[in-house]
Amino acid sequence: MKEKSTNILSIDPFYPEIDKIMEAAEIIKNGGTVAFPTETVYGLGANALEEAAVKSIYLAKGRPQDNPLIVHISSISQLEGLVEAIPQQAYILMEKFWPGPLTLIFRRTNKIPDIITGGLSTVAIRMPNHNIALELIRYSKLPIAAPSANTSGKPSPTNSSHVIHDLSGKIDMIIDGGSTGVGLESTVLDISGDVPTILRPGGITIEDLLTVLPKVEYDKAIEMTNTNIIPKSPGQKYKHYSPDAKMVIVRGNIEKIIQRTTELCREYEALGMNVGIMATKQTYEKYQNNNILIVGDRELPETIAANLFNVLREFDKIKVDIIIAEAVEEKGIGKAIMNRMKKAAGGKII
């Protein structure tokens, strides 16, 4: 791939400068690629209606082309022409959770290029809750296809330095809009069938969804490592969110986690390995290892969600050989945290 001159543009996330937004929007209109912040992670955007532009996303990321993309819009009116119909459940969900970290799966029209959906009859769409993202979509006057702005398979980017590290020289522009908020990708909810089904857990939890829907299920593929499945959502089929080091998760009650993590650390160090421990506020003082990073507070799991990908990238910087990570309780946003951690560890849990 021929190296590009990547323009890095700082934009105020609270009061975006419109002249700068327009500069980025022109790149989108002309078939280029722009990385921009959302409330979840940074996205790599291109015109969702132009196949060649979308292909540039796959090339820059090194992303398999059967891995579907999410289309981002700035108003519900933009759904017109993109989807066959808007179910009543969708209106309820959009009223409650849009803009926000909820992606909905609709039956698509032919206006959506096959390259976005991996040839599926459905399309994933969301409205991000971020001023820069919304203004970029508005001024582009186009729906924007945008997966996470990282090298495929690596931890998702939660600030512009992560994007610069992965994609500088491969895309046209990187917007520096500071750190993201949620820190994990959006929840993906399939409403194209009989029962709303979570294909990827995220910032909107099943508990949140059940406040407005009578029934919600998790897709069985969330826990699968079968590479033969046809992915209906990003994050289902391939290894994702992975640091350079190997990673193992330790699960159990907190005392057992501390004990086993300490034992594993000694075992790996005896083999000459540089060990990293992903600890929490409640446990980090229990360890003697030199490479301990605090991912967040167990009593405030949203802090773990916000910091997870950044901590994985920090372990890359200090070049550990293996990461021992403490599991969290799989309820609320903990379900999404553990989903990402399991993907990063390749399912290796003790």
Q: CATH number for the domain including 275? A: 3.40.50.11030
DSSP state of 288: -
126 belongs to a structural domain: yes
Residues 320-340, mean pLDDT to the nearest whole number: 97
What is the number of domains present in the chain?
2
Q: What is the mean pLDDT of residues 189-202?
A: 94
For residue 327 the two structure tokens come to 């599991």
Bond into 99 cis (ω within 30):
yes
- The pLDDT tens digits for 275-295 are 999 999 999 999 998 899 999
Residue 49, domain member (yes or no): yes
Residue 238 within a domain: no
- Whether 7 has a pLDDT exceeding 70, the answer reads yes
Range of the domain at 300: 246-344
Q: Looking at the DSSP assignment, which residues form a beta bridge with residue 326?
A: 250
Judgement on whether residues 263 and 134 belong to the same structural domain of the protein: no
Which tokens in the block code for residue 264? 């594993």
pLDDT above 70 (res 135): yes
Taking the model in full, what pTM does it have? 0.93
Q: Are residues 81 and 153 in the same domain?
A: yes
Show the tokens assigned to 42: 């940074």
Residue at 93 is within a domain:
yes
Q: Looking at the structure, do residues 143 and 278 belong to the same domain, yes or no?
A: no
In a domain, 350, yes or no: no
Whole-number Å distance between alpha carbons of 62 and 123? 21
In this predicted structure, what is the pLDDT of residue 290?
86
SS (H, E, C) 152-205: CCCCCCCCHHHHHHHHCCCCCEEEECCCCCCCCCCEEEECCCCCCEEEECCCCC
Residue 9 identity: L
- Is 64 inside a domain boundary? yes
- pLDDT band of residue 336 (cuts 50, 70, 90) is very high
User: Is the domain of 207 the same as that of 263?
Assistant: no
Q: Are residues 168 and 273 in the same domain?
A: no
Q: Do residues 187 and 273 share a domain?
A: no
What pLDDT score was predicted for residue 160?
Answer: 98
Considering the domain architecture, whether residues 108 and 200 belong to the same structural domain is answered as: yes
Mean pLDDT, residues 41-67: 95
**β-pair partners for 187:** 102
Chain mean pLDDT for the chain? 94
What pLDDT, on the 0 to 100 scale, is given for residue 231? 53
Are 162 and 252 part of one and the same domain?
no
- Residues 8-26 pLDDT 10s: 999 999 999 999 999 999 9
Q: Are residues 203 and 261 in the same domain?
A: no
Q: Are both 216 and 256 inside the same structural domain?
A: no
Which residues pair with residue 103 across a beta bridge? Answer: 188
Question: In this structure, are residues 185 and 201 in contact, taking their beta carbons and an 8 Å threshold?
Answer: no
Q: What helix, strand, coil percent values describe the chain, rounded to 5?
A: 35, 20, 50
Total residue count of the chain as it appears in this document? 350
Determine the pLDDT at residue 286. Answer: 96
Q: How far apart are CA 188 and CA 170, in angstroms?
A: 28
Would you state the pLDDT for residue 67? 85
Asked whether residue 230 is domain-assigned, the answer is: no
Q: Which of 67, 43, 68, 54 is CA-nearest to residue 166?
A: 43
Retrieve residue 268's tokens: 């790996």
Q: Given pLDDT bands bounded at 50, 70 and 90, which one contains residue 1?
A: low
Mean pLDDT of all residues in 210-236: 75
Reported confidence tier of residue 228, pLDDT bands at 50, 70, 90: low
Task: Using CB atoms within 10 Å of the CB of residue 282, give its burial: 0 to 12 exposed, 13 to 18 middle, 19+ buried.
Answer: middle
In this structure, is residue 233 part of a structural domain? no
**pLDDT for 230 beyond 60:** no
| pLDDT band with cut points at 50, 70 and 90 for residue 223 | confident
Q: List the Cα angle 111/115/118 in 5-degree steps.
A: 110
Both 187 and 262 in a single domain? no
Q: Which helix (H) or strand (E) holds 104?
A: strand 102-107
Q: pLDDT band for 221, please (50, 70, 90 cuts).
A: confident
Percent share of the chain, pLDDT over 90: 88
Pair 87, 140 in one domain: yes
CATH number at residue 160: 3.90.870.10
Model confidence at 234, pLDDT cuts 50, 70, 90, reads: low
Q: Evaluate whether 188 touches 204 at the Cβ level (below 8 Å).
A: no
Instruction: Answer yes or no: is pLDDT of 227 > 80.
Output: no
Confidence of residue 195 (pLDDT cuts 50, 70, 90): very high
